[in-house]
Amino acid sequence: MIPANKIKLKCISVLIVWILFLLGCSNSSRSFIHSGVLDLEGVSISNDSILNLDGDWEFYENKFLDPIDPNETQKKFMKVPSVWGKEGYSNFGYATYRIHVKNNINPNLGMSFDRIGTAYRVFLNEEMIFTVGSPGTDSNSSSPKFLPDTILLFTDPIQDFVLTIHISNFHDRKGGIWSTPRMGNFNDLLKNRERSLFIDFYLFGSLSIIGFYHLGLFILRRKDKTPLMFGVFCLLIGFRSIMTGEHFLVHSFPDLPWEIFIKMDYLTFYLGTPFFIYFLIYMFPEDIYFKINRFFSGIFLLLSLLVLVSKPVIFSFTLPFVHLLILLTIFFTLYICIHSVIKKKEGAKTFFGALLIFIGFVSNDILKSNGFLNTSNLAHLGFFIFVLSQSFILSIRYSRAFNRVEELSEELETRVEIRTKELNRVLKTIKKDLKISQKIQKTILNHVPLNHPKIDYNIQYLPMTEVGGDLYSIHEISPNSIRIFLADATGHGVHAALMMMTIYSEYSNVKNLNITPGLLLSELGRQYYNRYKTLKSYFSCVVIDIDLEKNEFVYSSAGHPAQVFIQNGEINFLNSSGAILGFREKVVYYDTKLSYSPGDKIVLFSDGLFEVFNIQKEEFGEERIYNLLKSKSNLSSREISEHLISVVKKFRGEKEQMDDITLLSFEFLNPQS
């Protein structure tokens, strides 16, 4: 059995390491703005240094100042961050903030904006570079929005420049720049945001898992409501962690109406408090506690209903009152904990210590919300530490089961070892089967090369894994007559490879039929549907019959992307003439006949060639392929293929290949040249 003091020591060590890590994530340094001027002479923004743009900004009340208008006569100054109401102005209205940045030598500067109430636009000199919502001169002309972000000011250094911000607020109880804007190297700002996002995601994931876990415990044992209250509270705080901090939820749903987001922000706060108190009461139950908490819960419920039915400009004024209620509940909570410690209830001391940390972090959020502190929201972090302490309490409560757990662990280790060996054997078998499948597929795709003086071609085949789902066939069905077949099975990997084998089997039955491509597709579709309709597998394909004697070709396409015929340097599309194969038994496909001249080319490809994404999640797209083919139409078939593949790989970069790529290029030759 593990001693309780050792468990406690380990938990404390984890908390210390975690807090030190969080403190290390803050790398901002204070900047000093005096009388609307930020002098960067001799300041090199490097090594992750980030400037807080707090200080005295130029301020023009009820005026959207032209960014280049000096307007010295009406100049006032406003502290940033601050709320208009605390500086003697009305919280409802509009204004201009401005600073002059001088002697800058730093390139690639960016800015990070957090909470600004409630719509604004940013100018660099006279150019507007960023806007959130629609600032206006009244409630009708303004539109609030909340979208914290990091923007790039410029790449090449600008020595002297002016930053101007137009702000309006007619929809919240507070107007102004609530949180400090930050300036620094754009890449450093992004890294800083990524670190903060990691913390937010870590908290969200951890609290969500713990929350659902405790809800599961309640479902299994409904008599004990402690897991229910604790689970719901965990989920509320976890959800709040991605609404505050780096505001991941806002960035994920940028079109979410501002009012809905604000309502969710308030509701997670208003509803979380009564759930937390109920959790505490169920941990250390006393009848009087339940009666008192019914009073608090009733008030918070009424406030939550007000949030649901009213506008932010109304319910936002309830926040100071709620902060007073929170203060009362803190005293109530402390009384419960102290009373439980005096009575020496199990886990009360640990609970009380963790609660003090949590209360401190909640107090930070309250003071920040009222403009007394310029810090980050820390309630969710405090709650995470609090949750860890509950794990410690549970470990004490279930310490009697440790011996049995150790026995089960030993048995589990033995079983895991046996299972690991079994899985390794299965893995070796799977790898062996994949190697065999790869050899079979290569054998199928390695056709007999055609050596004809009137045509030249090149094949590029890049499967996503060891085996792929693309199939191509090039063979001579009669002298001077060549049939080309390209198919793309749905899915990826082994599933697509197995489909490819079924397609190959059915195509082998019809590939030498002396019929047009359209009739061949109809017959192939009929046979494939009748044999494999229960599998609900589908594929697109294209068939081209080339008559090298008459200098013409006939094609038909079943749901395949538009292929390319390059004629006299111009791009012509070989469009689909019917649905993909496998949906229905009887489908009619139309033939299209075209003539060609020596030097013309046909380029066929699967959708894997253009459904390629880079690390920015940007798709390569068909349009790029068509433009490349047009610009490189004078190249040979091999040069075209190699150039296309090279460009696609460069575009993809380090991003993983997501689909099989097949590229077939054909060039018609003049044997007399």
| Distance between CA atoms of residues 524 and 507, nearest Å | 6
Question: What would you measure as the largest C-alpha separation in the chain, in angstroms?
Answer: 106
The verdict on whether omega for the bond into residue 227 sits within 30 degrees of 0, i.e. cis, is no
What is the structure's pLDDT at 416?
79
What is the Cα–Cα distance from 368 to 178, expressed in whole angstroms? 9
Cα–Cα–Cα angle for 156, 112, 205, rounded to 5 degrees:
130
Going from the C-alpha of 56 to that of each of 8, 89, 467, 660, the distances in angstroms are 48, 16, 64, 59
Q: What is the pLDDT of residue 5?
A: 47
Q: Apex CA 43: angle with CA 37 and CA 46, to 5°?
A: 125
Q: Residue 372: CB partners within 8 Å, gap ≥ 6?
A: none
Token pair 């396409």 is at which residue? 557
pLDDT in tens, 26-80: 444 455 799 899 998 878 887 667 888 999 999 999 999 988 777 666 789 999 9
Please tell me the predicted confidence (pLDDT) of residue 11. 44
Cα–Cα distance measured from residue 188 to residue 49, given in angstroms and rounded to the nearest whole number: 8
What is the rounded distance in angstroms from the CA atom of residue 64 to the CA atom of residue 337? Answer: 53
122: which strand partners? 130, 165
Give the pLDDT confidence score for residue 341 in this predicted structure.
Answer: 85
559: amino acid identity, one letter: G
User: Are 628 and 644 in contact, with CB atoms under 8 Å apart?
Assistant: yes
Q: Tell me, what's the pLDDT at 227? A: 83
CA distance 322 to 75: 37
Yes or no: say if 84 and 94 are a contact pair by the CB < 8 Å rule. Answer: no
User: What is the CB neighbour count within 10 angstroms for residue 408?
Assistant: 11
Tokens of 213: 């876990």
Looking at residue 20, what is its pLDDT? 41
- How far apart are alpha carbons 563 and 540 in whole angstroms? 12
List the one residue out of 164, 176, 21 whose CA is nearest residue 98. 164
- Residue pair 589/522 in contact by the 8 Å Cβ criterion: yes
Which of these, 232, 238, 227, lies nearest to 397 by C-alpha position? 227
pLDDT for 154:
92
Residue 570 bridge partners (DSSP)? 567
Spans in the chain with pLDDT lower than 70 = 1-31, 47-48, 71-73, 287, 366, 368-377, 379-380, 391-405, 426-448, 466-468, 492-495, 672-673
Length of the chain: 673
CB atoms within 10 A of CB 426: 10
Closest residue by Cα to residue 363 from 329, 387, 336, 317: 329
Q: Which two tokens mark 245?
A: 């901090």
Task: Provide the residue type at 142 as one letter.
Answer: S
Would you say 526 and 586 are in contact if contact means Cβ atoms under 8 Å apart? Answer: yes
Identify the residue whose tokens are 């909570």.
333
What are 605's strand-pairing partners? Answer: 663
Alpha helices in 157-257 (DSSP H): 186-220, 226-241, 248-252
DSSP, res 447: P
Look up residue 579 and give its DSSP letter: P
DSSP state of 511: T
Closest CA to 296 of 334, 335, 336, 332: 332
How many Å apart are CA 197 and CA 244, to the nearest integer? 10
d(C-alpha 323, C-alpha 103), whole Å: 44
3-state DSSP call for residue 477?
strand
What count of other Cβ atoms lies within 10 Å of the Cβ of residue 384?
A: 24
Quote the pLDDT of residue 467: 65
Closest to 361 in 3D by CA, of 7, 15, 114:
15
CA dist., res. 152 & res. 158, Å (int): 13
Extract the tokens encoding 615. Answer: 């690390």
| 50-52/119-124 β-pairing | unpaired
Euclidean distance between CA atoms 469 and 641, whole angstroms: 20
Q: How far apart are CA 528 and CA 522, in angstroms?
A: 10
Q: From CA 257, how far away is CA 254, in angstroms rounded?
A: 8
Q: Which residues of 7-37 are buried (b: 16+ CB within 10 A; e: fewer)?
A: beeebeeebeebeeeeeeeeeeeebebeebe
3-state SS string for 530-556: HHHHHHCCCEEEEEEEEECCCCEEEEE
303 closest CA partner among 277, 276, 330, 266: 266
> Three-class SS of residue 38?
strand
pLDDT value at residue 100: 93
Q: What is the 3-state secondary structure (H, E, C) of 581-600?
A: ECCCCCCCCCCEEEECCCCC
CA–CA gap between residue 333 and residue 289 (Å, rounded): 10
User: CA 468 to CA 319: how far, in whole Å?
Assistant: 59
Could you identify the residue written with the tokens 């409802």? 92
- In contact, 592 and 608? CB cutoff 8 Å: no
Under 8 Å between Cβ of 657 and 586: no
Angle between helices 493-510 and 517-532 (to 10 degrees): 120
Q: How far is CA 229 from CA 172, 212, 358, 387, 522, in A?
A: 31, 11, 17, 13, 63
d(CA 497, CA 490): 10
